């Protein structure tokens, strides 16, 4: 993506040290030692840029950017909208958010402004204009970093009005809205759009259509705000790409929509390393790397990661030696074109004063953390030819945030836990154990080119995707679907006439009932024939009862009154196959299922042989070459001699065993 190869650097706040030139000088000296080539400036700098209304100070920023540039370090420049100065909310209280209980916040924290407020939009336009005019032609600027970690919502009168206007664009008439939202229930019929209020625990929280519409509106309004910020830059001559930093497992807004407004996806990753087995954490993080990459189907930016322990998690665990680099290269392996840290120098006070940093309060470069950062810089240079290369996946998992909103708001069948994210990870991990790249896409994605598409718990099945699935299987695709799919439509209203809606023929079955199990209950799957599956598998939480029409039953329930009912089925539809998993079965079932499916489809990963449990394998490719990343997430030596791998080692020296937390990267001619 960048002519410089991989970016290496992170968030830098020189404004905190503006009166200490010795420290600023030391920073640059250290950055060079650590092969830092990019820093993010300006996040949260508004109060320094505009200390009083209309009084701008930008010279300090120019000086620093120039000085960095002269030292080979380029800048990702942020717009400062994520936190506003005190004078702004004092003078214009409308910029402060109103919470769902209709209480306006006081000044404080960050991410605390109304996305609708015309005043806020005007003020950010002024400051963005200043930044744009100053830096639009400055060669040091790599990218524009729009705001910071967009999220949250506002229920102020301005947002209420905007919500109503947006609803009018979504529904032809109030009658249509009433029908789609089923407002007759509990006498909630609206007579006009003007009667509608956003969801509130002081008022209405149980009209699912309203809740869903509100979430969509919040996404719309946040994206509209981001577009407003970007437009100001573009109108003032900026041509550099834009990004916004997204977050882990964040569902306030639908990133599908926000991603359309920016040029490059970036995200902030703070895994709880060492909390459980690190390979589990690596897989979980990898899932989100893949999700971020697929948002725009191209390399993404790792915008924030912590060089050591974070301060805001329950336990500020140190990263064990080697993990910093391993986790950094893990992002590269999944398609990142950068390793950026939060933060370059630790702040002296306030909320994140103990957040890990490249340079800590002690201030030396002889620390363990600094040395590991510097080593990572060295290795990133060795890998620089990989920058910009792409990812190819033969399998895809459908993860749809709107579907998740629906599941979490559904009230039944299991308010004590539906385990949708956990279910996604079961398939994901089963594929990763086989060394496959995986794409994570929503119902908006195209599925026709995958060999296997997995659609777990696709509760909210939108009409277009129903059609995509039919066409996909008809023309030879392999679909894996689970229980609790095709239940509600695009307005979160139940389908009538049998579920999974529209797919009864594709799957060869109809769902009859769904049983929720108490936490201490379980059932199990029994193979119809041991030539199909080798053993029983335990299932928990949710067990669907289906009747098959054309479907073949592969496994059956082992107990309860639905003993003998189908538990796993397979149906041939057109040229393809559709599997249906009726219950929340243990992960090892998916290992066996996918072994069978992949074998049938002759899909192989980049390495031969069984991959040891702590190893993750990923590939990137350019037109000619494939780059194979093999990473050890155990804190001990692991034997990989049984994996037949061949190629040129770009980093690492040994293809027979990996050291604790070691990564090796091989370059192989693409077949």
Residues 52-81 contacting its own copies, CB under 8 A: 52, 80
Query: Closer CB to its own copies, residue 77 or residue 430?
Result: 77
x-marked contacts with its own copies along 468-507 as a string, rule CB under 8 A:
-----------------------xxxxxxxxx--------
| Residues β-bridged to residue 576 | 573
Binding-site size for its own copies (CB under 8 A) equals: 106
304 assigned to active site: yes
Sign (positive or negative) of CA dihedral 179, 182, 185, 189: negative
One of 169, 172, 187, 530 touching its own copies (CB under 8 A): 187
Catalytic residue of the set 50, 149, 153, 325: 149
End-to-end CA distance of the chain, in Å?
Answer: 24
369-398 residues in contact with its own copies (CB under 8 A) are: 369
| Residues β-bridged to residue 553 | 569
Query: Closer CB to its own copies, residue 540 or residue 620?
Result: 540
123 binds its own copies (CB under 8 A): no
Query: Closer CB to its own copies, residue 197 or residue 408?
Result: 197
127-166 residues in contact with its own copies (CB under 8 A) are: none
One of 145, 414, 470, 570 touching its own copies (CB under 8 A): 414
416 binds its own copies (CB under 8 A): yes
One of 9, 209, 299, 500 touching its own copies (CB under 8 A): 209
348 binds its own copies (CB under 8 A): yes
- What is the number of helices (H) and of strands (E) in the chain? 17, 25
CA angle 321, 322, 326 (to 5 degrees): 145
One of 110, 126, 277, 298 touching its own copies (CB under 8 A): 110
Query: Beta strands 478-482 and 452-455: pairing type?
Result: parallel
Please tell me the distance from the alpha carbon of residue 79 to that of residue 61, in angstroms, as a whole number. Answer: 13
| Closest approach of its own copies to the CB of residue 43, in Å | 9
Query: Closer CB to its own copies, residue 235 or residue 636?
Result: 636
Please tell me the distance from the alpha carbon of residue 236 to that of residue 251, in angstroms, as a whole number. Answer: 33
120 binds its own copies (CB under 8 A): no
| Closest approach of its own copies to the CB of residue 186, in Å | 5
Query: Closer CB to its own copies, residue 487 or residue 628?
Result: 487
505-564 residues in contact with its own copies (CB under 8 A) are: 510, 512-518, 560-561
DSSP string for residues in 46-100: HHHH-SBTTB---HHHHHHHHHHHHTT-EEEEEPSTTS--HHHHHH-GGGB-B-T
612 binds its own copies (CB under 8 A): no
413 binds its own copies (CB under 8 A): yes
Nearest residue to 261 (alpha-carbon basis) of 291, 221, 217, 288: 221
12-31 residues in contact with its own copies (CB under 8 A) are: 13, 15-16
- Kindly report the number of other CB atoms within 10 A of residue 114's CB atom: 28
Q: Are 28 and 67 in contact (CB under 8 A)?
A: yes
One of 105, 170, 538, 655 touching its own copies (CB under 8 A): 105
172 binds its own copies (CB under 8 A): no
Query: Closer CB to its own copies, residue 430 or residue 567?
Result: 567
Tell me the chain's radius of gyration from C-alpha atoms. Answer: 26
Residue 490 DSSP code: T
In which element (H, E) is residue 188 found?
A: none
One of 8, 35, 74, 84 touching its own copies (CB under 8 A): 84
Nearest residue to 668 (alpha-carbon basis) of 622, 627, 631, 621: 627
Nearest residue to 99 (alpha-carbon basis) of 90, 108, 91: 108
Query: Closer CB to its own copies, residue 107 or residue 248?
Result: 107
Please tell me the distance from the alpha carbon of residue 400 to that of residue 442, in angstroms, as a whole number. Answer: 4
Helices 21-33 + 59-70 axis angle, to 10: 30
106 binds its own copies (CB under 8 A): yes
505 assigned to active site: no
One of 72, 321, 612, 652 touching its own copies (CB under 8 A): 321
One of 3, 21, 22, 109 touching its own copies (CB under 8 A): 109
| Closest approach of its own copies to the CB of residue 617, in Å | 26
Q: CA separation (Å) from 386 to 2, 262, 515?
A: 11, 23, 49
Residue 338: phi, psi to the nearest 5?
A: -160, 160
Q: Are 114 and 96 in contact (CB under 8 A)?
A: yes
309 binds its own copies (CB under 8 A): yes
| Closest approach of its own copies to the CB of residue 584, in Å | 13
Query: Closer CB to its own copies, residue 83 or residue 578?
Result: 83
Residue 136 DSSP code: T
671 binds its own copies (CB under 8 A): no
Nearest residue to 80 (alpha-carbon basis) of 127, 11, 28, 33: 127
Residue 155: phi, psi to the nearest 5?
A: -115, 25
One of 239, 351, 536, 608 touching its own copies (CB under 8 A): 351
236 binds its own copies (CB under 8 A): no
| Closest approach of its own copies to the CB of residue 85, in Å | 6
Query: Closer CB to its own copies, residue 106 or residue 649?
Result: 106
Query: Beta strands 648-651 and 509-516: pairing type?
Result: unpaired
Q: Are 159 and 116 in contact (CB under 8 A)?
A: yes
| Closest approach of its own copies to the CB of residue 199, in Å | 8
Q: Are 609 and 432 in contact (CB under 8 A)?
A: no
Catalytic residue of the set 50, 153, 229, 304: 304
Query: Closer CB to its own copies, residue 139 or residue 561?
Result: 561
Query: Closer CB to its own copies, residue 406 or residue 576?
Result: 406
263-282 residues in contact with its own copies (CB under 8 A) are: 274-275
| Closest approach of its own copies to the CB of residue 379, in Å | 20
Nearest residue to 16 (alpha-carbon basis) of 24, 7, 8: 24
One of 57, 70, 103, 642 touching its own copies (CB under 8 A): 103
- Kindly report the number of other CB atoms within 10 A of residue 273's CB atom: 22
One of 347, 375, 444, 655 touching its own copies (CB under 8 A): 347
One of 169, 172, 411, 530 touching its own copies (CB under 8 A): 411
Q: In what order do the strands lie in the sheet with 625-632?
A: 615-621, 625-632, 663-669, 648-651
Positions marked catalytic:
149, 304
């Amino acid at each position: 993506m960048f002519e410089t190869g991989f970016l290496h650097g992170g968030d830098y706040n020189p404004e905190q040290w503006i009166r200490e030139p010795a420290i600023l000088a030391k920073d640059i000296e250290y950055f060079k030692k650590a092969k830092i080539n990019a820093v993010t400036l300006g996040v949260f700098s508004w109060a320094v840029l505009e200390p009083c209304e209309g009084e701008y100070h930008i010279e300090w920023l120019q000086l620093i950017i120039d000085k960095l540039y002269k030292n080979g370090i380029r800048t990702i420049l942020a717009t400062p909208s994520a936190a506003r100065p005190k004078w702004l909310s004092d003078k214009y209280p409308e910029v402060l958010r109103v919470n769902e209980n209709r209480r306006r916040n006081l000044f404080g924290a960050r991410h605390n402004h109304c996305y609708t407020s015309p005043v806020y939009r005007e003020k950010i336009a002024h400051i963005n204009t200043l930044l744009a005019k100053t830096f639009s032609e400055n060669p040091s600027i790599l990218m524009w970093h729009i705001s910071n970690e967009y999220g949250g919502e506002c229920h102020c009168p301005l947002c209420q009005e905007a919500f109503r206007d947006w609803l009018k664009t979504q529904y032809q008439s109030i009658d249509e809205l009433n029908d789609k939202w089923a407002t007759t229930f509990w006498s909630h019929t609206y007579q006009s759009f003007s009667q509608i209020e956003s969801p509130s625990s002081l008022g209405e929280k149980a009209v699912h259509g309203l809740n869903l519409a509100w979430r969509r509106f919040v996404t719309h309004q946040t994206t509209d705000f981001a577009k407003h910020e970007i437009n100001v830059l573009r109108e003032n001559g900026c041509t550099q790409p834009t990004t916004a930093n997204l977050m882990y497992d964040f569902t306030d807004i639908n990133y599908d929509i926000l991603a359309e407004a920016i040029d490059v996806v970036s995200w902030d990753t703070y895994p709880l390393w060492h909390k459980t087995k690190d390979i589990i954490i690596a897989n979980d993080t990898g899932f989100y790397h893949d999700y971020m990459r697929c948002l725009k189907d191209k390399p993404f930016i790792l915008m924030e990661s912590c060089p050591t322990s974070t301060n805001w998690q329950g336990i500020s665990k140190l990263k064990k030696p080697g993990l910093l680099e391993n986790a950094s290269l893990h992002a590269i392996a999944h398609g990142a074109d950068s390793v950026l840290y939060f933060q370059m120098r630790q702040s002296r006070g306030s909320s994140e004063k103990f957040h890990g940093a490249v340079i800590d309060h002690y201030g030396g470069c002889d620390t363990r953390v600094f040395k590991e950062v510097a080593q990572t810089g060295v290795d990133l240079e060795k890998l620089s030819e990989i920058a910009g290369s792409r990812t190819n996946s033969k399998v895809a998992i459908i993860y749809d945030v709107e579907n998740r909103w629906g599941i979490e708001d559904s009230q039944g069948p299991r308010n004590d836990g539906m385990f949708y994210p956990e279910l996604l990870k079961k398939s994901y991990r089963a594929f990763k154990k086989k060394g496959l790249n995986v794409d994570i896409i929503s119902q908006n994605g195209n599925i026709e080119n995958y060999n296997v598409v997995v659609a777990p718990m696709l509760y909210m099945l939108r009409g277009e995707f129903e059609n995509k699935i039919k066409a996909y299987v008809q023309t030879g695709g392999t679909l894996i679907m689970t229980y609790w799919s095709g239940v509600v439509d695009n307005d979160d209203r139940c389908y009538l006439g049998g579920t999974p809606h529209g797919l009864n023929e594709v799957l060869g079955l109809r769902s009859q009932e769904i049983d929720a199990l108490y936490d201490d209950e379980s059932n199990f799957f029994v193979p119809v024939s041991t030539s199909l599956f080798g053993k029983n598998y335990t299932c928990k939480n949710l067990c669907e009862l289906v009747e098959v029409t054309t479907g073949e039953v592969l496994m059956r329930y082992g107990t309860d009154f639905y003993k003998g009912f189908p538990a796993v089925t397979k149906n041939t539809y057109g040229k393809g196959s559709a599997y249906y998993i009726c219950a929340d079965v243990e992960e090892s079932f998916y290992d066996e299922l996918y072994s069978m499916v992949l074998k049938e489809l002759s899909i192989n990963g980049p390495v031969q042989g069984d991959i040891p449990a702590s190893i993750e394998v990923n590939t990137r490719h350019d037109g000619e070459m494939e780059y194979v990343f093999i990473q050890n997430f155990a804190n001990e030596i692991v034997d990989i001699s049984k994996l037949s791998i061949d190629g040129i080692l770009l980093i690492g020296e040994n293809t027979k065993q990996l050291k604790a937390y070691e990564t090796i990267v091989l370059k192989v001619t693409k077949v």
